[in-house]
Amino acid sequence: MIDNPTPRYYKIYRLLKHAIENGQYVDNEAMPGENVLAEQYKVSRLTIRRSLELLQREGLVERRQGSGTFPIAGNVASQPLRADINKLVAHLNKMGTGTQVQVLSFGYETANEMARHQLELPANAKVQKAIRVRYHNQVPFSYLVTYVPESIGRRYSEKDMTQAPLQALLKGLGIRLGSAEQSFTATAADAHHAEALQVGISSPLLCIKRLNRDTQGRPVEYLVAVYNPEHFEYRMALSNKRSKGVDGWIVNDSH
């Protein structure tokens, strides 16, 4: 068995941070003491102390000598960005224009096996590969890796990707999207995700993989995106339908 490399104090820090951001601890009221928290989380008092020190450094709590630890008003995070799965592409496009982006890398390279297979490219074909991080209210919430056939990727620049979502760039090139294939799964943060999204290594993340095709059915973009679930979530509306005597749930397209 491989041990989880995330230190205990950091795990507790994240649990306490989540509790503070979700209003579990009331402003101007002391949080439980170190001994109580140590008992609650089944760790040592030293571990709790290190967790509280991280919270203090982040400006989420104030430690008052002789009085305890208090959550700081005004530092509660906003609710996670929400995207309705019924209008998925529209929501992703809206987020692309309503958030900020940082391009970590931009270049042209020989497609790896995954990208070559998804984009239906011949051996040794090149792709435009970009890695970006998106922010909402200056907080990183997504780490995006895109692969585009070189013939398309040569028609936009790194600067273009800082100014508009990729799908908007494709539209500007006269490429109309006709269909998409998408999958959702859970993944654990690697070192790159952890640094970019400001989370611990092995933290749980939502992973979305999407292949976009144009109206002729040709692959034009393959995306691998991971999202921090503390700042982003997908929601869907379901309706119960009875068919042939059997109840079943279907996605409510009218939502």
Instruction: Go through the domains of the chain in sequence order and give each one's CATH number.
Output: 8-71 (1.10.10.10), 81-235 (3.40.1410.10)
User: Which of these, 197, 186, 105, lies nearest to 147 by C-alpha position?
Assistant: 105
pLDDT at 176: 93
d(CA 83, CA 59): 29
pLDDT at 2: 36
Write the pLDDT tens digit of every residue in 126-173: 999 999 999 988 889 999 999 999 999 999 999 999 988 898 999 999
Which letter does DSSP use for residue 78 in this model? P
Phi, psi of 38 (to 5 degrees): -60, -40
Phi, psi of 61 (to 5 degrees): -140, 160
User: Both tokens of residue 133?
Assistant: 């991080």
pLDDT at 184: 87
Q: For residues 107, 109, 115 and 117, what is the CA-based torsion angle, rounded to 10 degrees?
A: 150
pLDDT at 86: 46
Reported pTM? 0.63
d(CA 210, CA 136): 22
Residues in the chain, pLDDT under 50: 1-4, 76-78, 81, 83-89, 254-255
pLDDT at 57: 82
d(CA 125, CA 218): 15
pLDDT at 83: 47
